[in-house]
Each structure stands twice: as C-alpha cells, then as structure tokens.
Structure 1
Amino acid sequence: MNNRYLKARTLARAKHKDQMYGAVPYYIHLDAVSRLASPFGTDAMIVAQLHDVIEDTPTSIDELAADFGYLVADAVGYMSDGKLEDRAARKADINFRLGALDVDEEAARIALIVKACDRLANVRASSKSTEKYFHLYQQEHPDFKQAVYRKGLCEAIWWELDNLLKYSEAS
C-alpha cells in the first residue's frame, strides 16, 4: 500500500475515532468508499478516506493541504456538506456546488468520483440495515445524479447505484 494512502487512513481513523456508522466504527464506511474508489487511483482512495473529515471533525482544508497537497484538499472541500441543519437545504447546496464542477480539473474529477462511491457505499449499507435511509437515498437520487453524474466518468458505479435504487431516466 502507498504511504500517502496509509497516512490518510491513519488520520481519518484518528479523526473519526469516536464516531459510529450505524452499529460499526466509522472507518468501516471509509474503507468501503476507498475500495469502491480504488480503480480510480491512489488520490481517489486518499480522498475517500478523508471525504468526511471537514464536515464531521474540527479538521481544516489547510491541514489537509499541508499533509496531502492541494489536489486532495480541494477534492475533499468540493464534496463536503455545508453546516446547514436542514438536510434538504444541505443537499440542495452541495448538489448546486457539485453540479458546477468541471471534470477537466483533476480535484473536481476526483471529488465527483468519490462522491458517487460514497453514495453507493451508503446505499449498499442502508439496503441491508436502515430502510429509512434507503428510501431517502431513493428520493434524493434524481437530484443527486443530475448534480454528480458525468458521462464516462465512473459508469460502473452509476450502473450499480441506479440498479440498487431502481432508478431510470423515465422514473
């Protein structure tokens, strides 16, 4: 394994150490997202490990940039939810920001890939345990896909996501 990846995994586990993902430690989710991101390279795997540290811990973008460079810090920043309390408003805000990203920028490309991987990991987990969240992801999927999907970027991720959520353009 790459030393930068191991450093990111270690930092993410330390930052999220007391957090849970349902009934399991939070790192289970981070590892699942990282596995899904692995075909897209080490930077995608690093961003997958770190994708929630800005919104869920007192970590700053500057701290990530110092440890992992601006590519990783920018990608994590792009996909971090704002601090809005209302989920619908928070998702509308992030979808607006993600929809404006240009895949010609490497950090934006990685952010869009990892965001799709994160959603797939969440849908997989919720389909096995939390029906409430699974239905929420189904309801959010059209807006999420409109904001995050880019043709040719990570088609296999989207294929599984669409099929798990039984989503089609006609629905």
Structure 2
Amino acid sequence: MNNRYLKARTLARIKHIGQQYGERPYYSHLETVSRLASPFGINAMIVAQLHDVIEDTETSVDELAADFGFLVADAVKYMTDGKLNDRMKRKIEINQRLASLDIDEEAGRLALIVKACDRLANVRASKKASEAHFKMYQQEHNAFKQAVYRKGLCEAIWWELDTLIERRA
C-alpha cells in the first residue's frame, strides 16, 4: 500500500476516533468510500479517507495541505459541508459549489468522484439499515446528481446509485 494512503488512513482513524457510522466505527465508512474510489487512483483513495475530516473534526485545510499537498486539501475542501444547522440550506450551498467544479482541474475531478462514491456508500448503508435516511437520499437525489454528475466521470458509480434510488422509488 502507498505510504501517503496509509498516512491518510491513519490520520482519518485518529481524527474520527469515537465517532460512529450507525453501529460501526466511523472508519468503516471511510474504508467503503475508499474501496469505491480505488479504480480512480491513489489520490482518490486518499481524498476518500479524508473526505469528512474538515467537516467532522477540528482539522484545517492548512493541516491537510501540509501533510498531503494542495491537490488533496482542495479536493477535501470542495466536498466539505458548511457549518449551517439546516440540512437543506447546507445541501444547497454545497451543491452550488460542486456544480461549479471543472473536471479539468484535478482537485475538482477528485472531489466529484469521491462525492459520488460517498453518496453511493451512504445509500447502500441506508438501504440496509435506515429507511428514513434512504428516503432523505432519495429526495435529494435529483439536486445532488445535477450538481455532481459529469458525463463520462465514474459512470459505474452513477449507474448503481441511480439504480438503487430508482428501484426503491
């Protein structure tokens, strides 16, 4: 395994210590997203490990840039939800940011890939464990897809995500 990936994985596990993803330790979600992102390269896997670290911990963008470079830090920053308490307002804000990303910019491309992988991981998990969360993702799907989907970028991820959402609609 790549040393940078192992460093990201270790940092994420330390930063998210004590946090849960349903009944499991939070790192189980990060591992799932990282596996989904693996066909897109080591940087996608690193971003997958770190994708919630700014949002859910006291970690800063500057810390990530110092440890992993600006490419990874920028991709994680692009994916990070704001601190608004209202989920709908938070999602509107992040969807606007994601919709503006250009896949010709590597950090933007990585953010879009990992965001799709993250959503697929969440939809898969909610389908098994939380009907309420699944319905929430179902309701958000069109706006999310409009913001994040780019033709030709991680089509297999989108195929499964669309299929899961539509199968239960």
* Aligned CA-pair RMSD: 0.9
Secondary structure of the structure 1 residue equivalent to 2:153: coil
The alignment covers a number of residue pairs equal to 168
Cα distance in 1 for partners of 2:28, 2:90 equals: 24
How is 1:1-171 mapped onto 2 (pairs within 5 angstroms)?
1-166=1-166
Paired with 2:37 and 2:102, the residues of 1 have a C-alpha distance of 19
Output the CA distance in 1 between the equivalents of 2:98 and 2:66.
24
5+ residue gaps, structure 1: none
CA deviation vs aligned residue, 1:110-140 (integer Å, no higher than 9, x gap) = 0000000000000000000000000000000
Q: Could you tell me the TM-score, scaled by structure 2's length?
A: 0.98
Using the aligned pairs only, state the percent identity.
Answer: 76
CA distance in structure 1 between the partners assigned to 2:34 and 2:121 by the alignment: 9
